[in-house]
Amino acid sequence: MCVLPCFSQVIEGNISMSDRVPTEFFGDWRVVSVCTKSTNKEYFDSKSLDIWTLTRRGDVITLANPLSGARADVTVNDVKGKTVKFEKKTSYPDEESLETPILTINGDNFTGVDKISIKTFKDGKLIKEDYVEYQVRGTKLSGDPITGIFGVY
């Protein structure tokens, strides 16, 4: 017997992790990456310099590189204070990749690690798995994305 109102239905809710990402992350960044671990040094660059543009529209966070034209929606896996763990999965018939940047922001700079795993398949069987880890350092170029000036996101 229920003395208080009884509910037979479970209410499920979902708080978007993208809402917890510090606003300082959004904008344009000059990013320097240095390889610290790799299973295939011929495949992965030892150092790179990129521009990253992070934008949010609703619950969707997009990471773009205006230099290369690369653009991807990313998932926010965890936010602890000023540290954010992003994830981007890509699947093709013969390849799967998982990229996981873990970044900590401090004013107009961020530091962290970018881990990338690439699995190659042939006839549905895993034939090769490559892994690389980069130490990354970002310096803010602008608070508003450069691409926004041109009306492109």
Query: Which residue segments constitute the domains of the chain, with CATH numbers given?
Result: 17-142 (2.40.128.120)
pLDDT tops 50 at residue 148: no
- Angstrom distance (rounded) from CA 143 to CA 25: 9
Q: What is the pTM of this model?
A: 0.79
**Can you point out the beta strands (E) in the chain?**
27-38, 47-57, 60-65, 70-80, 83-92, 95-106, 109-122, 125-142
Q: Which residues contact 6 (CB under 8 A, 6 or more apart)?
A: none
pLDDT tops 70 at residue 145: no
- Angstrom distance (rounded) from CA 139 to CA 111: 9
- The percentage of the chain sitting over the pLDDT mark of 90, rounded to a whole number, equals 65
- How does pLDDT run across 44-85, given as a tens digit for each residue? 999 999 999 999 988 889 999 988 888 999 999 999 999 999
